[in-house]
Amino acid sequence: SSGATHSALGPGARLARAHEGGADMACHWRRWLVPTLLWHTSAFVPAQSVEGSHGPESGTLFPKVTFPDETGRQVTIDPDKSLDSFPGKRLVLWWYPKADTPGCTKEGKAFEAMNQAYSVHDVQILGISADVPADNKAFSDKYSFKYPLLSDVDRSLPAALEVTSRRWAILLNEDRTVEEFWTDIPDPEMFPVMPLSYLAAQKWAPHKEL
């Protein structure tokens, strides 16, 4: 029954489904979101701990950066809230290899489908690539993304973070320290549930008695 299905889902899956409309979309999420969430919560290892991977450690300060979004607006990430474009919000920043290619499109659409669920956790989604703003605008307009796509044409951010992966993501705290980092993302369509399930687990975890 629907009640049994609802109770069997983890908090991240319930949260995502709560923001999806229509039976077809709910069926789509059940098809791939639930198995992914179960895999994440039972066996997922943070990418920075995988042997041979590179990237920032949790707790390190993210570099101060400013990049244009798809409209040409300058977006700044800075621990100084008076300079930061999203003060008081956590950020999930996902790097994609090339705008409007199959894997990047699947990842972008999955993030867009979960945008409201992320907003419940007060998290701003930001896509970023080496594409020029015009290419990112065409990508955004084509799929009606409601979050910014940033242009780092010189690939200065991966260089600063010492990231060599073609596809990665990072979760930043409100103070712009690194909370989580994922590298060498194997399945871009399934990945966007990973940060969301991490956030949901934090929110839904029972308080430990002191």
Distances (CA, A) of 58 to 3, 44, 62, 146: 38, 16, 10, 28
Rounded CA-CA distance 193/100 in Å is: 21
What letter represents residue 19's amino acid?
A: H
Selecting among 104, 110, 157, 170, the annotated active-site residue is 104
Rounded CA-CA distance 179/30 in Å is: 28
DSSP class of residue 88 equals T
Has 104 been annotated as catalytic? yes
What token pair was written down for 178? 């690194």
Closest CA to 129 of 90, 155, 107, 163: 155
| Residues annotated as part of the active site | 104
